[in-house]
Amino acid sequence: MPKLGSSVSQDGLEVPILIGLDGQEITDLLAAGQAVPAPILIRGLLDTGSDVAAVAPWVLRALAVTRKAQATTHTAGGQIPVHLFRVSLTLLPAAKQTGQGLTLPSVWVSELAVTLPDADMLVGLNVLLQCKLLLYGPARNFSLDF
């Protein structure tokens, strides 16, 4: 079973992520002979308190993804409207680690409502429920098995 993991940092459960267009959009662009924007390497934090992954607006703008829906999310400050998008994600092994990443060709994400100082994405349960998350608190490390 493939695995990736890392130490728990001061900021939390960090994972490098490649984010790109939704897999079907990539297929359609290639079929039409059009260029596909390169995926962007971003810094993510695993967040078991988020139902849906959330991405910084600058990332979505850079990829030029289009909004697919609108929803409401609950935050500590109350309910707020958010835009929903479909993207592809690859959770990568941490620096100096080898192995394959977890690739998901089509994932719902929301736009982050606030700028995070330490991450460009919160990896929510819609991604985490596709693997096994092991957190070993005393050793301050975690792994994802998929």
Query: What are 70-124's pLDDT values in tens digits?
Result: 988 877 777 888 899 999 999 999 877 777 899 999 999 999 988 899 999 999 9
Pairing state of beta strands 3-7 and 14-21?
A: unpaired
**Average of per-residue pLDDT values in the chain:** 93
What pLDDT was estimated at residue 78? 79
Handedness of CA 7, 8, 10, 12 (dihedral sign): positive
Domains, the chain: 14-140 (2.40.70.10)
What pLDDT was estimated at residue 126? 96
- SS3 state of residue 64: coil
Model pTM above 0.85: yes
Handedness of CA 124, 125, 129, 133 (dihedral sign): positive
How far from 55 is each of 2, 16, 126, 131, 135, CA to CA, in Å?
A: 25, 13, 13, 20, 23
pLDDT at 38 over 80: yes
Segment 137-141 shows an average pLDDT of: 95
- The DSSP bridge partners found for residue 6 are 142
